[in-house]
Every structure is written in C-alpha cells, then in structure tokens.
Amino acid sequence: MTSERLEPLTDQISLLHGENKGRFPRAHSILVQAEETVLIDTGCGIPLLKQIKNEFDINYIINSHTHPDHSAGNWVFKGQPIFVPKETFNTSGNIVALSHRFVGRELASIWQQFARTVMSFQNCPPTHSYTEDTPFQIGEIVLTPIFTPGHTMDHYCFYYEPQQILFAFDYDLTSFPWYGHQESSLTEFRQSIERLKALPTNMVVSSHRGIITVNIQSEWNRYAQRLDERNQSILDLLDSPKTVDQLVEHAPIYRKFPYQETLLRYWEAIMIQLHLDELVNEGRIQEKRDKYYRL
C-alpha cells in the first residue's frame, strides 16, 4: 500500500514520499485526486509507481522538467497522456537526446548507463506540452505553471493560489543548489529564486526536502546565500592563478566525488565555470590564457 507514503497537503493534494527519502537519484512526487487523478513527476521509484498505478486510476502525468529523477518512470504509465515543458518536448523521454543535452556526446554513454541502471529510465515519448500560458485545471484545483529556468532550460514550478502552496521541485531549498549543465544559467537561477521568493507562500513543497512551512523567506535567503558562498570558496582558491581543471581538483561545489566520478567532475566543472563567469563580470577576477586570477 502507498497510503503510508502519502502526506496530505490539502484535501485533494498529497506529497508522495519517494524512495531514499526523496534524495537524488530519487525525488518526491505529487498526487492530485480531484475529478481527475494526476501524478506530477515519476522519479519516486519504480516499485512505488507500480503500486500507484494499481491503486489509483491515473488520468495523466506531468513532469516539472526532464531530469530523470523527475521523469524516469513515465514508462510505467505509457498509454496515458504525459505533459512535459514545451521548451524540451523534442528531447523528453529519449535517453540519447537527453544525454546529448545534459553531458554532451563524449560522456553520453556513461550518462545513459547511469540513467538506465540507477534511475530505471526507459524511453517514453511525451504526448502533450505546456507553458506558463496553460494552467492545469484538475476539477476545482488550478495549478499555475511558473517558468523558472537556471536549473535546466525547461524547469517549471507550480503555484496553487487558493492556499498559497508553491511546488518548487528542484528549487528545493536544500543546502545544494544545482545548475550543472551547459544549458544551466547561474544568472537565471538567481532570477528564478527571486521570482519564487516574491510569491505569497504558506507552504513550499520541495522535491528533495519535502514540506517547508516555517521561515520561508529566510529559507530562500539561505538558499541564495549558498551561491554567494560558492563564489567565495572559488575566490579563496584563487590565491594563486588556476585553470578550471585545477579548481575541479579542489571540488569547491561537490567537496568529493563518491560515485560516478566522471559525471560528477563534469558537473563540478560546469558549475565552477558559471561562478567564474559571474566573478569575471563583477570585476573580481580576470581570465588570461585559461587561468583565472583574483584581482
């Protein structure tokens, strides 16, 4: 039974606690039970998704974005409508296309193996797309999509205005903000935080942390501060000029590479580069012949 994993948020919306306490490579999902029954995100774990399929008549699936810890289990509901962001409709559900997007062709096979074996990803093409202009009407429940790029180019949050609930997904208010793809943007990440922070909010529902109802503004401030702390960590390493590869050896973002070292090093380098670009733009460092110098 899945009832022990369902935590009510309202009379009709529940948090479905994912395996591994919702930590990567899993995530929590959202179950809406109104005139239709809708599941948002499918990275909670395949056995759990199969139980959900058996216990509930799921009318359709929504993905907040195309990361596998939010979409890997779409195939369990193959044949049902699957809604994904319009920005990446053409790559959604396709492991080859996603690997090229997320890590490039050189690391594609490594990422595909990781997605298949660790995250149980199987190809499953979407059927529908959505944007900010297409709210989801589920009985009396209206979920408004909010485009929040930065984490990925296709990340959306959802807002339930009557009870001021923000489904923040991977703007997750954990201690580890993530923006490790070529398509990620630190500038957009900061802008998305500010947009979400400005919403009247009684509850934030995080894909990897769960439910937050206390000191929400302080939580957003702390989350944004992590980005500034990473800037400072990188500045501290530039007591002598260093290349990106040399900075990766110090791992100021991940601290260590305990699994899938090749992928973690790649994501580390991407995030370091985004911070370096920001520091250059702020006039705090300069780049010369692939080395970065603190000013």
What is the domain partition of the chain in residue ranges?
3-213, 225-294
Distance between the two ends of the chain, CA-based, in angstroms?
Answer: 59
Given 3-state DSSP classes, what are the helix, strand and coil percentages for the chain, each rounded to the nearest 5?
40, 20, 40
Give the pLDDT of residue 3. 77
* Spatial CB neighbours of 51, under 8 Å, sequence gap ≥ 6: 1, 2
In CATH, what is the architecture of 225-294?
Answer: Orthogonal Bundle (1.10)
pLDDT, mean of residues 75-91: 98
> Comparing 3-213 with 225-294, is the CATH topology the same?
no
Average pLDDT over residues 75-97: 98
Phi-psi region of 285 (alpha: psi -120 to 50; beta: other; left: phi over 0): beta
pLDDT band at 4 (very low <50, low <70, confident <90, very high): confident
Q: Give the model's pLDDT for residue 180.
A: 98
pLDDT band at 201, cuts 50/70/90? very high
pTM of the predicted protein model: 0.97
Report the half-sphere exposure of 33 (CA within 13 A, side-chain side).
15
CATH architecture of the domain formed by 3-213 = 4-Layer Sandwich (3.60)
Residue 223 has what pLDDT? 98
**Residue 270: its pLDDT value, please?**
98
CA distance 57 to 295: 60
CA dist list (Å): 42 to 26, 61, 77: 9, 8, 9
Please check whether residue 175 is in contact with residue 191, taking contact to mean a CB–CB distance below 8 angstroms: no
